[in-house]
Amino acid sequence: MLSLKHIRKSFDREEVLRDVSLQVRHGEVVSILGPSGSGKTTLLRCLDFLERADGGELTLDDLHVDLAHAKRRDVLAMRRRTAFVFQNYNLFANKTARENVMEGLVTARGVSPDEARKKAEEALAWVGLLDKAGEYPSRLSGGQQQRIGIARAVVLDPEVIFLDEPTSALDPELVGEVLNVIREVARRGIAMIIVTHEMAFAREVSHHVVFMEGGRVIEEGPPEQIFSQPREERTRTFLKRYLTDSNMYYI
Amino acid sequence: MAFHLDYFLASLVSGLAYLPRTLLLVSLPLALGLLGGLVLAAFRVYRVPVLGRLTALGVSIYQGVPIVVALVIYNLLFMSLFNDVAAFFGVATTVAEVDIIWVGIFALALQEVTLMEESFRGAFYSVPAGQREAALACGLTELQALRRIIVPQLVPVAVPMLMNHVVGNIKNSSVVIAIGVAEVLTGASIPAARTYSFLESYVAAGLIYWALATAAEQLIGQWEIRPEARQSSWFWQVCARVRRRRTVTVAQQEKRGQVHAELEAYQKIL
Ligand SMILES: Nc1ncnc2c1ncn2[C@@H]1O[C@H](COP(=O)(O)OP(=O)(O)OP(=O)(O)O)[C@@H](O)[C@H]1O
Ligand SMILES: [Mg+2]
């Protein structure tokens, strides 16, 4: 469904992505693991054109885009068929929870305000926050904000959602509620690419795991294989460090 | 030196008669400055090709020129070129028929645009980049993101700075007397031509400017209140009440129309 080929990106001579290719099938959850600075965030940002790649191709079903030279129309088309969940939520500070979820529907998709409101409230109820519909983000906890961030993504009915470390800005006791919502998204059959350091969660929820380092895909495969029998030495070193750091949240 | 209360009052009345002109000299440049300043700031922040550079250059040049000098230059250009330009466009008006206040408004507006551009640019940078990115990721265009997400957030940041502009503008509007535009200060001095009560005249003018500045300050301060805290402000309570009354009357009218229609239907049956 979604296929990425030969993505390259440099920041001032520093090569951050060196020929990254990746496949995501319908309804599939792909997790990306890797040490800090390996280019995970940059990869997701290139897919949504928040960063301009230097090269690479992207195919989303019938939409075929050259990442480096895409025109406005293709950029908009890609953004309107996908959604993004940010590490620090990025809820619109000038809008209530309900308005945050409605914004993309009304302004980008041209849905009528009444229908958008109905859909937004359904989405908020679905993440368990209908009672906070009228609150501004500044008055919500990180976990609540991120759940609204996910509702804002899901309500757009995207073909794939990109999530960049959706829980890493949260206090440990709030991680669980957000992971539960992401599980629900997976259950709905919406494809996702998740960058995460939650190893146990990645193992449980993903169909496919990708390990990146130094801007390259080092190893990929089904979660059982990556976590139990990694082939590459670098994957093994990375996982060993994470697993001994007691970074395991079983929820 | 004696202070004559009756001369002072005469000056006050005479000055107040010119208040509409001062209000025009303040409000029109303000409105143009807000709009132009915001647009020019956006040119620079978004690094729009050509226009961004041009703005930066224009603003830096303009800020080095004292307003009085600019005023006199515009006035000279206006005086010497207006008739020719009017003739070129086939307009019958001559320079003597045009109120010179428009030259004053033009000069003040340009000055205001350059000052506001600076304020708005600062305010732009105070909105986190993530807000724009989230809007784009939701499928909004760059312009939609600007209008619906970024501008509403930079307004509360820009307001304190803008408030200083407005108050400064009210006070500075009197510089236009340099090219002979009549406004509050001119009006307040009229009685002095007869009575030589200059002190009274200027105190009266000062009082009018001060009252105007204070009122403006109070009003603008209300926009600084964030949406979630507006319930506790008298200004927003009044606004909300007016809005509520309007919706109530609409509902009442609809109901009245409905009753009317029902009555008509009954009358037909009977
Ligand atoms: N806007 C930028 N300008 C310059 N360099 C950047 C920029 N964004 C990222 N980089 C560099 O690109 C490299 C990859 O960054 P990226 O954020 O993609 O890594 P990551 O895998 O997401 O790391 P982390 O796990 O810490 O989030 C880093 O070396 C970073 O310094
Ligand atoms: Mg990252």
CA distances from B51 to A124, B72, B124, B147, B241 (A): 43, 28, 17, 19, 44
> Identity (one letter) of the amino acid at A127?
V
Residue B156 sits in the same domain as residue B267: no
Check residue B227 and give its pLDDT: 66
Check residue A54 and give its pLDDT: 94
- pLDDT tens digits for range B102-123: 999 999 999 999 988 988 998 9
Q: Which positions ≥6 away from B99 have C-beta within 8 Å?
A: none
Give the gap in angstroms from C-alpha A83 to the nearest C-alpha of chain B. 6
Please list every residue in chain B whose beta carbon sits closer than 8 Å to the beta carbon of residue A79: 136-139
Are B134 and A90 in contact (CB < 8 Å)?
yes
Residue B131 forms part of a structural domain = yes
Please list every residue in chain A whose beta carbon sits closer than 8 Å to the beta carbon of residue B136: 48-50, 79
Q: Cα–Cα distance between A207 and A181 in angstroms, integer?
A: 17
Overall number of domains in chain B: 2
Q: Centre a 10 Å sphere on the Cβ of residue A188 and count the other Cβ atoms it contains.
A: 10
Which residue, judged by its Cα, is nearest atom 25 of ligand 1? A36
Q: Which positions ≥6 away from A7 have C-beta within 8 Å?
A: A17, A19, A20, A21, A43, A46, A53, A55, A56, A67
Check residue A249 and give its pLDDT: 47
Nearest beta carbon to residue B130 from set A80, A90, A138: A90
Residue B33 sits in the same domain as residue B118: yes
Residue B164 sits in the same domain as residue B258: no
Average the pLDDT over each of A35-39, A179-183, B222-226 and give the range with the smallest value: B222-226
Check residue B195 and give its pLDDT: 83
Residues with CB under 6 A from ligand 1: A 11, 16, 34, 36-42
- pLDDT tens digits for range B3-62: 888 899 999 999 999 999 999 999 999 899 989 999 999 999 999 999 999 999 998 888
- pLDDT tens digits for range B169-213: 888 888 998 888 889 999 999 988 888 888 999 999 999 999 998
Residue B215 forms part of a structural domain = no
Residue B235 sits in the same domain as residue B159: no
Instruction: State the closest ligand 1 atom to the C-alpha of A40, by its place in the atom list counted from 1.
Output: 21
Is A125 a residue whose pLDDT tops 70? Answer: yes
| Domain end call among B181, B196, B213 | B181
Residue B169 sits in the same domain as residue B237: no
Please list every residue in chain B whose beta carbon sits closer than 8 Å to the beta carbon of residue A109: 139
Give the gap in angstroms from C-alpha B127 to the nearest C-alpha of chain A. 10
**Does pTM surpass 0.95?**
no
| CB burial readout B59-82, b (16+ within 10 A) else e | beebeeeebeebbeebbeebeeeb
Residue B43 sits in the same domain as residue B138: yes
Residue B234 sits in the same domain as residue B164: no
pLDDT band at A207 (very low <50, low <70, confident <90, very high): very high
Which residue, judged by its Cα, is nearest atom 30 of ligand 1? A37
Separation of CA A165 and ligand 1 centre (Å): 13
DSSP state string for A107-154: IIT---HHHHHHHHHHHHHHTT-GGGTT--GGGS-HHHHHHHHHHHHH
Residue B244 forms part of a structural domain = yes
Beta bridge partners of A2: A24, A60
Residue B7 forms part of a structural domain = no
Beta-carbon pairs below 8 A across chains A and B: 67
DSSP class of residue A188? T
Residue B42 sits in the same domain as residue B162: yes
Residue B174 sits in the same domain as residue B247: no
Residue B114 forms part of a structural domain = yes
Is B98 a residue whose pLDDT tops 70? Answer: yes
Residue B134 sits in the same domain as residue B235: no
Is B250 a residue whose pLDDT tops 70? Answer: no
Residue B197 forms part of a structural domain = no
ipTM over 0.85: yes
- pLDDT tens digits for range A46-72: 999 999 999 999 999 999 999 999 999
Are A79 and B137 in contact (CB < 8 Å)?
yes
Give the gap in angstroms from C-alpha A99 to the nearest C-alpha of chain B. 11
| Domain end call among B163, B181, B199 | B181
Which residue, judged by its Cα, is nearest atom 9 of ligand 1? A42
Phi-psi region of B239 (alpha: psi -120 to 50; beta: other; left: phi over 0): alpha
Helix (H, G, I), strand (E, B) or coil at A242: helix
Which of B131, B138, B144, B228 to probe by mutation at the A interface, max A CB count within 10 Å? B138
The mean pLDDT of A196-220, rounded to a whole number, is: 93
Residue B222 forms part of a structural domain = no
Helix (H, G, I), strand (E, B) or coil at A95: coil
Beta bridge partners of A212: A217
- The domain in which residue B69 lies consists of 19-181
SS3 content of chain A, % helix, strand, coil (to 5): 40, 25, 35
Check residue B268 and give its pLDDT: 66
- pLDDT tens digits for range B256-269: 666 666 667 666 66
Check residue B232 and give its pLDDT: 76
The CATH number of whichever domain residue B149 belongs to comes to 1.10.3720.10
Check residue A251 and give its pLDDT: 38
For chain B, strand residue ranges (E) read none
Residue B194 forms part of a structural domain = no
